[in-house]
Structure formats: structure tokens, C-alpha cells
């Protein structure tokens, strides 16, 4: 009973764990959604730092940043599982302290000891400083920084500082940083952590200095960056001509993109400066998934895994919860692509406009707390590309702020006759069942949750928690 004498309040731990499991089970049985955060809040009432106990001894990778957290986590979980590990992952996107606590605590035994040895944890940028001191991760990935929920964080710089605060609390964690993001790379200044960089060594897309940028000016001295090449938004080979702050050579570098289609990409890599002998297939489409894959490779290696294993698993990685999921309620496919901010939205629209088939589009815009009350980001995303895309036959607009979205589309140059308001998810489902063309949906977070439930009920797709073993 050595544990009893070191922790005189073991009863608190048992109550915390028990209440967590009980509340989660209750919420799921009564059909009130995934029960993701409330169980954690209840557990923390009994023991504030319960997460430190229920994660003790686990080997954990944390994924944070503006875009790509869930997909990168999904890629890592897929790779680790394929390598035979029993992995815990917070699947639902509940990535604040309460959600992470719920996930890890519910997975522990009744005495609060972890049952699984490995975890991949997606963590919100603002919550990082609360979460990492408790779980002491082996690896932390920072994917990128873009303007996102501005009314929650204030500004991109505040988000960066919040992440930096978190990192400083865990000097032993290995950082995997996006070399192409000048904001993310600046996390390397003055920290003792070991750092692994990932990025693209090759230009992509329009080489245009005018793209909307959250990071035009050098973070150290304020001078405008010069770029040898761009990949998208403010990502690329940046260099400050005044103080010399510049992109570091990535340890995991994509050196060529041989093909990019709606089914995925084929790339060439250098690992630690040496070309990888084979082409690598990435099973999810678009540029941002090339970045997510590079992040996953870097983190998997930093975690101690073998390169061949992660490369092999990237070829058939599944789409994550709502991020790029495909359903088939009728004869045609319905693909949901979660968007939350201008960079992600513009990338998704770019992907749609490269498709060679006619399609219908559904755009859903909510403004609940989890989405961010300020929806003005839609005016920074490039809907103009849809105006010149002849394959878009019809656009249905849904959600709390559908009317704002309709105004946005009109000013983007889309003819009013193509745009219609449809708030009911049931009616959207009926349209999808009868549609003679594939349907693509661009929802933001809470509208995705609601529509996804309707679609998965109709198609019998499993709830996300049923996917776990």
C-alpha cells in the first residue's frame, strides 16, 4: 500500500475517476452527444490535477496550432496503431483542459492509473499551458499559426505567446515545428527544448507576395520578410533582410510534389538531409495535408518510431471526424470539409475548384461559442474562386449566420440565382439523398457537428466513440 501512504487523498482520485466515467456513460446513453467535456469538469471538481495522475507514465504526443491538429493527430494515431501500439486519442476535437482530462481519466483504471501506454492528444493553443505541465508529453507538434477565433484570443501574437508559455513549462519535450511558418519557428528562440523542423523545400501555387498575411513583418525587428518562394498564405522560405531571422532547413523536408488530386498526393522527401529512396503517397488531398503528413513523420520519428512505418500508414489514412469525411445517403457522395478560418477555407475552396466534375455546394456558418462569435473571417477567405468555377451548379447556405454568408457570396461575384437559404438539416439531407450530383459541404465547427449527426444517423455510420476498440 505504498501508493496509499504517498497520496493520502486517494479517495479523491477514486471519486474523480468514478464521477468522470459515470457522467460520460450517462451522457452517451441518454443520447446527449459525445459527452466530451462535462465528465472532465466534474472530475476536476474532486481533484483539480487529476490529469497528472491519470496520465502518469504515459508516452504522449501533443498536437497544437491553428489548422491541422485533428488530421495530424489522426495520422499519428493511425501510424502508431498500425505499429501495434494501444493508442488513446481524444477523437472528438474536445481539446481544452476539460476535454483532455475527460478522455484520459475515463481511460484510466478505478485507482486512476493509466491503462494505455501511448496517447496522441490534440490540444487547443490557449489550453496548452494548462495541459502540458500535467501530462509532460514526449513530443509537441506546432502545426502553424493563422488568424482563427480572434474574439477568443485577441490576436495571432497572443496565441503565439500562449503557446510559448506552455512550451517553457516542459523543457524536456521535443518540439516539432513548421519551418515554413515564421511565427511557429519563432518558438525556437530561447527555449532549451530539442527541436525537429519539417517543411516544404519546393514552391507551390501562385508565387504572390500579396496574399493575406498574418506575418508580414519580422517578429524580431519589424522589417518586411523576403521570400525565396511561397507555398500558401504566409508559409514559405522567409528571410528577414535586416536581422537575418530565416527559415531553418527542415529535418523532414518535402522536396517535390509529383501529384495532387482529390484522392491524395504523391511526394518525395529528404529525411535528415538524405533523399528517401521511394515516393511517398499521402491518402488525403490538398496542400495542407502534405504539411500535416510532414508533421506526423517528424513527430513519429522524434517519438522513437521507424520512418518506414509512418510512411506506409500515410497512404491509407482515414478522413477524420468531419474534417474530410465522405457519406453516401443516396446515389451520390457527400463530402464534408470542416472550415474554421480564412487559410483553411481558402485551401478547401481551392481544392473544390480543381475538381473536374459538376457538384452542389452546401455552406454552413454558425457563430456559437465554440465557433467564435465573430464571423468576419469569411471576408478574408477566397470565395471569389467559386464565382469563376462553372462546376458549382447550386449553393445552399445554412446555419445561424446564413444571411451573412449569402451577402458574402453575392459580393464574391456569385449570381444570386445560384444561392438559396436552407436552414433545416432534414431538408439538406433530403436534397443530398436525391441529388444527381456529388455534394460538398463546407461547415464550420458546431454546424458540422449537427449536420454530421443527421448524416451518420441516416447512413448508419458509427458514432466516433464506437470506432475506438
Contacting residues toward another protein, per CB under 8 A: 147, 150-151, 154-157, 212-213, 216-217, 222, 224, 367-369, 373-374, 376-380, 400, 403-404, 406-408, 410-411, 416, 419
Q: 386's torsion region: left (phi>0), alpha (psi -120 to 50) or beta?
A: alpha
Query: Cβ–Cβ contacts within 10 Å for residue 234, how many?
Result: 24
Phi, psi values for residue 237, rounded to 5°? -90, 85
Residue 71 Cα to chain centre, angstroms: 5
Helices (H) and strands (E) in the chain, counts: 17, 18
Residue with smaller CB distance to another protein, 223 or 307 = 223
Residue with smaller CB distance to another protein, 151 or 434 = 151
State in angstroms the smallest separation of the CB of 378 from another protein.
Answer: 7
Closest listed residue to residue 289, CA positions, set 68, 113, 129: 68
Give the span between the Cα atoms of 423 and 397, in whole angstroms. Answer: 7
State in angstroms the smallest separation of the CB of 149 from another protein.
Answer: 11
Give the span between the Cα atoms of 282 and 312, in whole angstroms. Answer: 9
State in angstroms the smallest separation of the CB of 4 from another protein.
Answer: 42
State in angstroms the smallest separation of the CB of 454 from another protein.
Answer: 19
Query: Cβ–Cβ contacts within 10 Å for residue 30, how many?
Result: 9
Give the span between the Cα atoms of 286 and 350, in whole angstroms. Answer: 9
State in angstroms the smallest separation of the CB of 390 from another protein.
Answer: 21
In terms of DSSP H, where are the helices of 10-61? 10-29, 38-46, 50-54
Residue with smaller CB distance to another protein, 156 or 428 = 156
State in angstroms the smallest separation of the CB of 379 from another protein.
Answer: 3
Residue with smaller CB distance to another protein, 394 or 410 = 410
Closest listed residue to residue 153, CA positions, set 110, 183, 178, 181: 183
Using the 8-state DSSP alphabet, how is residue 410 labeled?
A: H
Give the span between the Cα atoms of 465 and 102, in whole angstroms. Answer: 13
Residue 409 Cα to chain centre, angstroms: 26
Residue with smaller CB distance to another protein, 270 or 380 = 380
Q: 325's torsion region: left (phi>0), alpha (psi -120 to 50) or beta?
A: beta
Q: How far is CA 370 from CA 20, 83, 96, 152, 273, in A?
A: 22, 34, 11, 9, 41
Nearest 5°: the CA angle 194, 197, 200 is 180
CB 112 within 8 A of CB 50: yes
Which set of grid coordinates corresponds to residue 17? 475517476
- Say which of 109, 151, 316, 374 is annotated catalytic: 374
State in angstroms the smallest separation of the CB of 151 from another protein.
Answer: 5
Any residues with CB less than 8 A from the CB of 161 and at least 6 apart, and which? Answer: none
Residue with smaller CB distance to another protein, 156 or 442 = 156
Residue with smaller CB distance to another protein, 404 or 422 = 404
Closest listed residue to residue 331, CA positions, set 426, 435, 461: 435
Give the span between the Cα atoms of 10 and 453, in whole angstroms. Answer: 39
Query: Cβ–Cβ contacts within 10 Å for residue 116, how many?
Result: 16
CB 378 within 8 A of CB 148: no
State in angstroms the smallest separation of the CB of 150 from another protein.
Answer: 6
Residue with smaller CB distance to another protein, 109 or 209 = 209
State in angstroms the smallest separation of the CB of 441 from another protein.
Answer: 21
Residue with smaller CB distance to another protein, 49 or 155 = 155
In terms of DSSP H, where are the helices of 303-373? 307-314, 342-353
Active site residue 374: yes
Give me the active site residues, please.
374
Amino acid at each position: 500500500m505504498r501508493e496509499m501512504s504517498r497520496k493520502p487523498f486517494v479517495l479523491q482520485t477514486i471519486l474523480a475517476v468514478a464521477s468522470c466515467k459515470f457522467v460520460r456513460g450517462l451522457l452517451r446513453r441518454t443520447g446527449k452527444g459525445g459527452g466530451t467535456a462535462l465528465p472532465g469538469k466534474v472530475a476536476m471538481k474532486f481533484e483539480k490535477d487529476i490529469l497528472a495522475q491519470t496520465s502518469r507514465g504515459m508516452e504522449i504526443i501533443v498536437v497544437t496550432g491553428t489548422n491541422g491538429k485533428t488530421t495530424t493527430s489522426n495520422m499519428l494515431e493511425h501510424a502508431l496503431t498500425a505499429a501495434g501500439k494501444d493508442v488513446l486519442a481524444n477523437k472528438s476535437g474536445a481539446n481544452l483542459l476539460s476535454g483532455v482530462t475527460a478522455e484520459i481519466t475515463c481511460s484510466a483504471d478505478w485507482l486512476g492509473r493509466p491503462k494505455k501506454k501511448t496517447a496522441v492528444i490534440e490540444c487547443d493553443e490557449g489550453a496548452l499551458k494548462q495541459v502540458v505541465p500535467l501530462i509532460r508529453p514526449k513530443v509537441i507538434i506546432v502545426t502553424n499559426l493563422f488568424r482563427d477565433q480572434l474574439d477568443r484570443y485577441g490576436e495571432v501574437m497572443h496565441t503565439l505567446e500562449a503557446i510559448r508559455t506552455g512550451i517553457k513549462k516542459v523543457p524536456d519535450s521535443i518540439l516539432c515545428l513548421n519551418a515554413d511558418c515564421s511565427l511557429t519557428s519563432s518558438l525556437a528562440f530561447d527555449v532549451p527544448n530539442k527541436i525537429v523542423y519539417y517543411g516544404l523545400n519546393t514552391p507551390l501555387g501562385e508565387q504572390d507576395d500579396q496574399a493575406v498575411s498574418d506575418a508580414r513583418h519580422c517578429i524580431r525587428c519589424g522589417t518586411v520578410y523576403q521570400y525565396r518562394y511561397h507555398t500558401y498564405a504566409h508559409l514559405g522560405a522567409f528571410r528577414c533582410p535586416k536581422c537575418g531571422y530565416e527559415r531553418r532547413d527542415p529535418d523532414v523536408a518535402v522536396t517535390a510534389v509529383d501529384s495532387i488530386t482529390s484522392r491524395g498526393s504523391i511526394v518525395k522527401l529528404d529525411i535528415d538531409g538524405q533523399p528517401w529512396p521511394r515516393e511517398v503517397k499521402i491518402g488525403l488531398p490538398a496542400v495542407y495535408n502534405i504539411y500535416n503528413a510532414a508533421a506526423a513523420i517528424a513527430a513519429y520519428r522524434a517519438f522513437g518510431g521507424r520512418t518506414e512505418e509512418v510512411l506506409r500508414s500515410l497512404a491509407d489514412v482515414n478522413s477524420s471526424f468531419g474534417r474530410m469525411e465522405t457519406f453516401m445517403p443516396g446515389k451520390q457522395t457527400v463530402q464534408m470539409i470542416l472550415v474554421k478560418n480564412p487559410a483553411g477555407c481558402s485551401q478547401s475552396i481551392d481544392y473544390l475548384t480543381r475538381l473536374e466534375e459538376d457538384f452542389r455546394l452546401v455552406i454552413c456558418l454558425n457563430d456559437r461559442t465554440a465557433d467564435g462569435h465573430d464571423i468576419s473571417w469569411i471576408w478574408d477567405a477566397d470565395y471569389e474562386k467559386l464565382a469563376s468555377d462553372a462546376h458549382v451548379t447550386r449553393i445552399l447556405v445554412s446555419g445561424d449566420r446564413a444571411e451573412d454568408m449569402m451577402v458574402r457570396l453575392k459580393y464574391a461575384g456569385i449570381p444570386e440565382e445560384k444561392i438559396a437559404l436552407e436552414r433545416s438539416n432534414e431538408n439538406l439531407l433530403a436534397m443530398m439523398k436525391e441529388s444527381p450530383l456529388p455534394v460538398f459541404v463546407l461547415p464550420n465547427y458546431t454546424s458540422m457537428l449537427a449536420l454530421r449527426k443527421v448524416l451518420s444517423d441516416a447512413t448508419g455510420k458509427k458514432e466516433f466513440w464506437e470506432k475506438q476498440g
